[in-house]
Chains A and B, each alone.
Chain A
Amino acid sequence: METIDMDRADPGFQKELAEAPGGDRISACFMCRTCVASCPITEVNETFHPLRIIRMALYGFKEDVLSSDFIWLCSSCYACQERCPQGVGIADFMTLLKNMAVREGYMPAGIRVQQDLVKGEGRIYPIDDFDNKKRAKAGLPPLPTRCRDVAVLFPEKRAASGGE
Chain B
Amino acid sequence: MKYAFFLGCTIPARSRNYELSARKVAERLGIELVDVPEFMCCGFPVRAGDQPAAELMAAYNLCLAKERDLPLLTLCSSCASALTETAHRLSEDGSLRDEVNSRLAKVGLEYRGRVKVRHLARVLFEDIPAGRIRDRFQKSLSGLSIAVHYGCHYLKPSKIYDGFDGVEAPESIDRLVALTGARVVDYPEKKRCCGGPILPVDEKVALSVARNKLEDIARAGADAMCLVCPFCSVMYDGNQKSIEAEYDAVYHLPVLYLTQILGMAMGFSRKELGLNMNVVKTKKLLAPYFE
- Interchain CB contact under 8 A, A147 and B40: yes
- Interchain CB contact under 8 A, B193 and A79: yes
Residue of B nearest to A39 (CB): B193
Binds A, one of B43-51, B129-137, B218-226: B43-51
Number of residues of chain B lying within 8 A (CB) of chain A:
55
Contacts of B197 on A, CB cut-off 8 Å?
A: 75-77
The answer, among B153, B156, B200, for a CB contact under 8 Å with A113, is B200
A59 at the interface (CB under 8 A from B): no
- Interchain CB contact under 8 A, A111 and B167: no
Other A-B pairs, 14, CB within 8 Å; known A72-B202, A115-B45, A149-B107:
A44-B205, A73-B205, A76-B197, A78-B153, A78-B157, A95-B47, A99-B51, A102-B50, A110-B201, A125-B9, A125-B13, A140-B20, A149-B60, A150-B40
- Interchain CB contact under 8 A, A73 and B198: yes
Contacts of B16 on A, CB cut-off 8 Å?
A: 134-135, 138, 140
- Given A118-B46, A134-B16, does the pair A45, B201 have CB atoms closer than 8 Å? no
Nearest chain A CB to B9 CB, angstrom units: 4
Q: Count how many pairs of residues, one from A and one from B, have CB atoms less than 8 Å apart in the complex.
A: 158
- Interchain CB contact under 8 A, B200 and A154: no
- Interchain CB contact under 8 A, B19 and A140: yes
Question: Considering the chains assembled together, what is the distance between the CA atoms of A78 and B193 in angstroms?
Answer: 9
B249 at the interface (CB under 8 A from A): no
Question: Considering the chains assembled together, what is the distance between the CA atoms of A68 and B195 in angstroms?
Answer: 19
Contact digits for A85-124, partner B, Cβ 8 Å, 1 yes 0 no:
0000001100110110010000110111111001100111
Contacts of B10 on A, CB cut-off 8 Å?
A: 124-125
B122 at the interface (CB under 8 A from A): no
Question: Considering the chains assembled together, what is the distance between the CA atoms of A161 and B153 in angstroms?
Answer: 33
Question: Considering the chains assembled together, what is the distance between the CA atoms of A82 and B104 in angstroms?
Answer: 33
Question: Considering the chains assembled together, what is the distance between the CA atoms of A103 and B214 in angstroms?
Answer: 37
B227 at the interface (CB under 8 A from A): no
Contacts of A118 on B, CB cut-off 8 Å?
A: 9, 41, 45-46, 57
Question: Considering the chains assembled together, what is the distance between the CA atoms of A72 and B197 in angstroms?
Answer: 10
The answer, among A81, A119, A153, for a CB contact under 8 Å with B60, is A153
Which positions in B face A, CB cutoff 8 Å? 7, 9-10, 12-14, 16, 19-20, 23, 35, 37-38, 40-41, 45-51, 53, 56-57, 60, 103-104, 106-107, 152-153, 156-158, 167-168, 191-193, 195-202, 205-206, 208-209, 212, 274, 277
| A–B pairs, 5, beta carbons within 8 Å | A43-B209, A78-B158, A95-B48, A143-B7, A154-B53
- Interchain CB contact under 8 A, A114 and B14: no
- Given A41-B209, A44-B205, A115-B50, does the pair A131, B198 have CB atoms closer than 8 Å? no
- Given A40-B192, A79-B191, does the pair A153, B152 have CB atoms closer than 8 Å? no
Nearest chain B CB to A118 CB, angstrom units: 5
Contacts of B198 on A, CB cut-off 8 Å?
A: 41, 72-75
Which positions in A face B, CB cutoff 8 Å? 40-41, 43-45, 69, 72-79, 81-82, 91-92, 95-96, 98-99, 102, 107-108, 110-115, 118-119, 122-125, 127, 131, 134-135, 138-141, 143-144, 147-150, 152-154
Task: Classify the interface of chain A: helix, strand, loop or mixed.
Answer: helix
Question: Considering the chains assembled together, what is the distance between the CA atoms of A107 and B277 in angstroms?
Answer: 34
Contacts of A75 on B, CB cut-off 8 Å?
A: 152, 193, 195-198, 206, 209
- Interchain CB contact under 8 A, A141 and B35: yes
Residue of B nearest to A99 (CB): B51
Residue of B nearest to A142 (CB): B37
Nearest chain B CB to A35 CB, angstrom units: 14
- Interchain CB contact under 8 A, B107 and A114: no
- Interchain CB contact under 8 A, A123 and B9: yes
The answer, among B45, B106, B193, for a CB contact under 8 Å with A152, is B106
Residue of A nearest to B24 (CB): A139
Contacts of A102 on B, CB cut-off 8 Å?
A: 49-50
- Interchain CB contact under 8 A, A111 and B60: no
Question: Considering the chains assembled together, what is the distance between the CA atoms of A98 and B103 in angstroms?
Answer: 23
Question: Considering the chains assembled together, what is the distance between the CA atoms of A96 and B16 in angstroms?
Answer: 34
Residue of B nearest to A157 (CB): B53
- Interchain CB contact under 8 A, A82 and B156: yes
- Interchain CB contact under 8 A, A153 and B106: yes
Q: Which 3 A-B pairs have the closest CB atoms?
A: A110-B200, A77-B193, A125-B13
